[in-house]
Amino acid sequence: MTDPPEVVGFLHDGPRSAEQAAALEWLDGTSTAAEPVRFDALADAADRFDALWWHREAPLEAPSPLSAHAPAVERHLASGGGLLLTLRAMANVDALGIETVPPDAVGAETITDPTGVLWRRLHDGHPAVESFDDLRLRVCDRGAVGTAAYESVLPARGEVLASTVRGDHDVPHRMPVVGWDADPGSVLGVGAPLSFDRPAAEAVAATRDRLVAGCLAAVADDVPEPGRPRDAEEMAAMRRALDADDRPAYHFTAPANWLNDPNGLVRWNGRFHVFYQYNPAGPFHDTIHWGHASSEDLVRWRDEPVALSPSPDGPDRNGCWSGCAIDDDGTPTLLYTGGDGRRQLPCLATAADDALRRWEKHPDNPVIEAPPPDVDVLETEHWEAEFRDHCVWREAGRWQQIIGTGLVDRGGAALRYSSEDLREWRYEGPLLVGEWASDDTVWECPELLDLGDRRLLHVSNCEDVVYFLGDIRDGRFVVDRRGILDHGDFYAPQSLADGDRHVTFGWLPEARDLDAQWDAGWSGALSLPRVLSVGPDGDLRQRPAAEVRQLRTERLLDDATFELSAGERRRLDVAGRTLELDLEVGLRDAAAAELSVFESPDRAERTVLQYGRDGELVVDRTAASDDPRVAADTQRMAVPPYDEPLSLRCFLDRSVLEVYANGRHCLTSRIYPTRDDSVGVSLAADDGRATVRDLSVWRLGDGYPRSPPDGER
The residues carrying an active-site annotation are 261
577 three-class SS: coil
Return d(Cα 632, Cα 628) in angstroms, integer.
Answer: 8
By CB neighbour count within 10 A (0-12 exposed, 13-18 middle, 19+ buried), where does 63 fall?
exposed
212, containing H or E segment: helix 202-220
Handedness of CA 465, 471, 474, 479 (dihedral sign): negative
Sequence-distant (6+) residues with CB within 8 A of 495 are 265, 447, 449, 502, 503, 504, 505, 532
Which run of H or of E encompasses 467? Answer: strand 465-473
Amino acid at position 307, single letter: A
Closest to 312 (Cα-Cα) out of 155, 93, 90, 149: 155
Judge contact between 517 and 283, C-beta under 8 A.
yes
DSSP character at residue 377:
B
Closest CA relative to residue 558, chosen from 538, 572, 543: 572
| Cα–Cα distance, 626 to 24 (Å, whole number) | 48
- State how far the Cα of 102 lies from the Cα of 191, in Å rounded to an integer: 12
Q: How far apart are CA 674 and CA 605, in angstroms?
A: 8
Query: Residue-wise over 125-159: b if at least 16 C-beta within 10 A, else e?
Result: ebbbbeeeeebbbbbbbbbebbbbbbbbbbbebbb
Among residues 510, 511, 514, 508, the alpha carbon closest in space to that of 163 is found at: 514
- Contact predicate 584/613, CB 8 Å: no
- Mode of pairing for the β-strands spanning 411-419 and 398-407: antiparallel
HEC secondary structure over 262-294: EEEEEEECCEEEEEEEEECCCCCCCCEEEEEEE
d(CA 13, CA 35): 14
CB atoms within 10 A of CB 76: 24
Q: Is 403 helix (H, G, I), strand (E, B) or coil?
A: strand
